[in-house]
Amino acid sequence: MEIQNQQKKLKKMYPTKRKFLYAGMSGALLMTSTLLPTAFSIMSLPITAKAAVLEVDALTNVSSSNSSNTSPLNRWNSQAGTQNVNFTISGNGVTSVTVNPTPRYVVLTVPQELRGYVSPTAASAVTSNITVDLNQVALLTTLVQAGNTFLSGVAGLGNNLTGLDLNPVIQQLNLLQSVQNIGGANLNVPTTMTSDGALISGQLDGEIGRVASANLIDILNNLKNAVNALQLTGLSAPLNPALDTLKGPLNAAIDELLTPLTAGTGEIVNQLAQASVLGDTTASIPTQIDVPTSLQGDVDARFAGSVVQTSLLDVNLFSNANGVSYVYLAAASPTLVAPTENLTATTSAVGAADATATLPTTLTNSEGVNVPVNAVITNTGGTPVTNGQLAAGTYTVTYSATGYDPVTQTLVVTDPADTTRPDAPLVTSITGNSQTGYTIIGTAEPNSTVIVENATESTVGTTTTSSTGDYTVNLPGSVGPDARLLLIAIDASGNRSASTQARTPVDPTLVTPTGILTAMTSATGASDANATLPTTLKNSDGDDVPVTAVITNTSGTPVTNGQLAAGTYSVTYSATGYDSVTQTLVVSDGVDTTAPAAPVVDSVTGNSQTSYTVTGTAEPNSSIMIRDTAGNTVGTTTTSPAGDFTVTLPGSVGPNADLLVTATDVASNASNATPIKTPADVTLIAPTGVLTATTSAVGAADATATLTTTLKNSEGADVPVTAAITNAMGETLTNGQLAAGTYLVTYMAAGYGDVVQLLVVSDGVDTTAPAAPVVDSVTGNSQAGYIVTGTAEPNSSIAIKDTAGNTMGTTTTSPAGDFTVTLPGSVGPNADLLVTATDAASNASDATPITTPANPGDTTAPDAPVITKVTGTSQAGYTITGTAEANSTIKLYDKSNKLLGTAKADGNGAFTINLAKGSIGAKQEFTAIAIDAANNESQPTSAMTPADTTSTGGQNNTPDTTAPNPPTVDHIGGNGDTGYTVGGTGESGATITIRNPATGQVLGTTTVGADGTYTVKLPAEAENATTLSATATDAAGNESTATLFKLPSKATGMSPMSNSYNSGTMAAMKSTKSLPMTGEASTSWLVALGAIFTAMVGSLFFWKNKSKKEEEK
């Protein structure tokens, strides 16, 4: 029985919905159609609806604007260049209930004068409210049939199936046969321009299909999820396989549509686009205009735009569209013609600044007319200079005239010819040699060119003297030593001085070594002597010169060092750029082959900071060598005739270093090594803890730290130390002149590494709070913000807080104690604030209370808020939505005047307030008030929370689907000047909604009180509606049929009409838009007649459906 009841919902709803749709189509909807060029009649009263301005228009009331910011008094001139301009086209939707395959476009015609100068720069951005009649989509028929087949199959499984709820499936199937409203759809429409530059257009249908597809995809996914969620439980669970079998064909039918929809392809997308109707629409077409530079006169460029539905894009069809905007252009202006040749002038003498240029007083413009001009001369730095006081150089002459852009000309000023020879150069010094080159230093005429010639008068060097006459010339080494040179100075006029003679210095020579070199073989007759040869020799200037040594025997034959037998040899030293020199080498056979005894080391003293000293004894006159473990020699000496030796080693050897000491006799016999170790370093012990010192007062720099004069070393000995104090920048400071801060104390002692200690200097404690700030003024408003000025302790921090402790603004007072704080407008008018001052020691003053001023001029209270919906339960909390004055603050109170919640209305006046669980119970009255930015309060609006739904005790809650009885309208008061008050009776706790049925506009809402009565306030604008409707909506969202009534005229009152205006008719009227601009006057009595006819047709279907329900029972 339950399955049959659920099926009945689907069977009953389908015909009822279609009847209401057809009733609306034959009544209110068709009355606003602009797509019917012929007349039709209602009750034998003809009404003619003409097309809009263009028969192809897809919108009514089309208007257009652009962002050029031009006007007849503010035109773009020929210098405007390239401009980006957005064209905005707006219009209201027209009503269409039939499939129309003709494509829709957004179009913009380009005026003849600007064709070739205008181009689209990006896709058009289109925003529209789209309505899709899914009944018009043929491909959905198969899916709906599959749904009906599925429901019949489920019914065949039996009655009273446990756990089965078909309502979600039926709800989605009903949506597939409904009219869907997609508000605020954003379309990104690619735009193109015709080849002749006359028309910019973009086709809308692809984007409309995309948006409509997304809506249908949601419905299909929800349907599929609802089908797959069906599951039988309890005793019916064994039937689940049969249920799953029934799901398959329906899911397949869903997927057959979902696949192309998701891909954005296929006939289904085209059918959705064709079944879609544009509502209120705004299109923005971005363009670029290259402003013409040769217009012969002013041009008012007329752009016509619209949204059209046509198969033929012809600019001639759209040029007369209503959506017109203009771009205003100015004729090209004449320009000054700049002179082409350079101006010239000459000074009276070289270096003089007295040249006068002959400047023209008129120039011709581009039309050949002489124009008086004013001339200004500027130098290369752009600084104006006086004609008649010009020195040699290049200048710019700028000519200007009223109404013209300036033009320029180059002026060249020169000195007269110079025939005086400069003095001969002076030579101060010549240094260098043929290997590295030569440098000549001297003086000559300032800014002259100095050339250096050799004996053949070839130039070997050149330079330019400084402004003081100094010069330096570098010559290549190829000039040669002791070379004769001539130096000549040439001035800027090309006059040559007499020559100055000079010579390059003689090259230095190698100094021959003195004495005879010796070497010894290892044994008599051996050929293994190795002579120690120098690698550098001094030259005649005392410089070290790297040399190459070659050993030759008495026959002049080169021999190898290390393979020398006893005899006499010649060593030749050579170096690049020098003559070779020689030295005699005598090699003798060795005699002594006995190594000396290993050295005896008596002591090793010192440290790594200074050096180490090694003392001991070894073979007399032997060579002592000390090496580290890597074989590096770190110290040498020769023992005395008594055998004593002392070797000093560098501190870099380091502490605890292992060393080897050997002795080598004159026969080069080396002893065994004696191992030694350098002593460990003795270190200073860094003091522990942090040093402290205190200044005499806050901000003083007079602290003296007590510094130690000795420190212990690592051996416990007292070591005198010197202390130095440095700041964070490494600067050394004087003790006794220290300000508050952190410092580093470095202790130093000879032979020790430095150690450091931290020193912290603090100011004396300041515990005195500053005086409370004195506030001189608080100005401003909630739109521009507020400014607070006053005085407090100099250099203190000012903080302004609200009564909740939130900081609204801060600043620091000047050295004189003045302060200014800027607060945001969000602080609000009449806000209580506290101002405090805090000094550098963090002492805070007492607070000075202030109040922001009230906003000037606004004393008008906002309208009472309109509560459009109250949903929720006492267990989950409640959500209250409604409308009020834009940007006003909404506050909700319970019957005891306790604040329940607040919200801020948005720019359109919409607000939503969520009340937490427990804040208010079910069926409890509450009030709402609106407060504007000037703190003006509206009258309260009363409403009531809905009753909690009850459980049947089974597994599922039974929803409340019974609509309340229609409300009564018992009394109507007021007029079109002050507004109206409507009162009557209805279901307790239900929401009463007053609408204009012709437009669907909500004019007022309230909640029926516990006594079953209600009163609702309507705005004065309600008098524009011929007929109003009142409906009651209970907490479960069930809406009653409408009670129709009329407002009283100013002369007499009118009683309510029949209450047979049903919800189906209301649905049709909600979707009805206002009539488009048709070019003919409309009469309110015709609209009323259409509404009455609609109500009558709706009533017929209602009673017929009701009779059918009774028959089915």
Query: 274 in helix, strand or coil?
Result: helix
The whole-angstrom separation of Cα 1096 and Cα 1102 is: 10
Please report which helix (H) or strand (E) contains residue 182, including its range: strand 179-189
Does 109 have pLDDT greater than 80? Answer: yes
Contact 549, 534 (CB under 8 A): yes
The whole-angstrom separation of Cα 682 and Cα 397 is: 81
**Average pLDDT of span 321-334:** 87
The whole-angstrom separation of Cα 180 and Cα 222 is: 15
Q: Tell me the CA distances in angstroms from 109 to 199, 314, 328, one per residue in order.
A: 5, 10, 16
Read off φ and ψ for residue 941, nearest 5 degrees.
-115, 130
92 and 125 both lie in a single domain: yes
Query: 435 in helix, strand or coil?
Result: coil
Domain membership of residue 116 (yes or no) is yes
Domain final position from 945, 980, 1011:
945
pLDDT tier at 958 (50, 70, 90 boundaries)? low
Q: Provide, rounded to the nearest whole percent, the portion of the chain with pLDDT above 90.
A: 57
Nearest of 809, 750, 817 to residue 790 by alpha carbon: 817
Contact 586, 553 (CB under 8 A): no
pTM of the model: 0.36
pLDDT tier at 1020 (50, 70, 90 boundaries)? confident
Nearest of 652, 617, 658, 623 to residue 637 by alpha carbon: 623
Contact 1086, 1075 (CB under 8 A): no
Does 983 have pLDDT greater than 70? Answer: yes
Domain final position from 369, 391, 414:
414
**Range of 293's domain?**
59-329
The whole-angstrom separation of Cα 206 and Cα 265 is: 10
351 and 400 both lie in a single domain: yes
528 and 456 both lie in a single domain: no
Q: How many separate domains does the chain show? A: 9
Burial class of 446 by CB neighbour count within 10 A (0 to 12, 13 to 18, 19+) = middle
The whole-angstrom separation of Cα 910 and Cα 952 is: 37
Domain membership of residue 771 (yes or no) is no
> pLDDT (tens digit, 9 = 90+) per residue, 746-797?
999 887 889 899 999 988 777 889 999 999 999 998 888 999 999 999 999 9
Domain membership of residue 962 (yes or no) is no
66 and 86 both lie in a single domain: yes
What confidence score (pLDDT) does residue 1103 get? 40
362 and 461 both lie in a single domain: no
Two tokens, residue 1006: 């309230």
What confidence score (pLDDT) does residue 37 get? 28
Query: 317 in helix, strand or coil?
Result: helix
**Average pLDDT of span 239-253:** 93
Domain final position from 367, 383, 414:
414
Query: Mean of the per-residue pLDDT values for the chain?
Result: 84
Domain membership of residue 23 (yes or no) is no
Dihedral, 438, 441, 445, 448 alpha carbons, nearest 10: 40
The whole-angstrom separation of Cα 536 and Cα 97 is: 111
What confidence score (pLDDT) does residue 265 get? 87
887 and 749 both lie in a single domain: no
Contact 109, 319 (CB under 8 A): yes
What confidence score (pLDDT) does residue 377 get? 97
The whole-angstrom separation of Cα 552 and Cα 585 is: 10
pLDDT tier at 158 (50, 70, 90 boundaries)? confident
- CATH of residue 88's domain is 2.60.40.740
Domain membership of residue 141 (yes or no) is yes
98 and 140 both lie in a single domain: yes
Domain membership of residue 722 (yes or no) is yes
> pLDDT (tens digit, 9 = 90+) per residue, 341-351?
999 999 998 88
70 and 158 both lie in a single domain: yes
48 vs 818, higher pLDDT: 818
Domain membership of residue 1021 (yes or no) is yes
**Average pLDDT of span 388-396:** 95
491 and 569 both lie in a single domain: no
**Average pLDDT of span 930-944:** 90
> pLDDT (tens digit, 9 = 90+) per residue, 269-317?
898 888 888 889 999 999 999 999 878 788 999 999 999 888 887 777 7
**Average pLDDT of span 657-668:** 91
871 and 980 both lie in a single domain: no
Q: List, in order, residues 6 or more apart from 3 with CB less than 8 Å away.
A: 154, 155, 157, 158, 159, 160, 161, 164, 166
User: What residue ranges in 356-483 does DSSP mark as E strands?
Assistant: 362-364, 370-372, 374-378, 384-385, 390-391, 393-400, 407-414, 426-433, 437-443, 449-453, 459-464, 470-475
Does 963 have pLDDT greater than 80? Answer: yes
Q: Angle CA(656)–CA(662)–CA(664) in degrees, nearest 5?
A: 160
Q: Provide, rounded to the nearest whole percent, the portion of the chain with pLDDT above 70.
A: 87
Nearest of 282, 291, 329, 288 to residue 85 by alpha carbon: 288
Contact 199, 116 (CB under 8 A): no
pLDDT tier at 22 (50, 70, 90 boundaries)? very low
Domain membership of residue 13 (yes or no) is no
> pLDDT (tens digit, 9 = 90+) per residue, 866-904?
999 999 998 889 999 999 988 899 999 998 899 999 999
pLDDT tier at 594 (50, 70, 90 boundaries)? confident
- CATH of residue 889's domain is 2.60.40.10
pLDDT tier at 264 (50, 70, 90 boundaries)? confident
- CATH of residue 397's domain is 2.60.40
999 and 900 both lie in a single domain: no
604 and 647 both lie in a single domain: yes
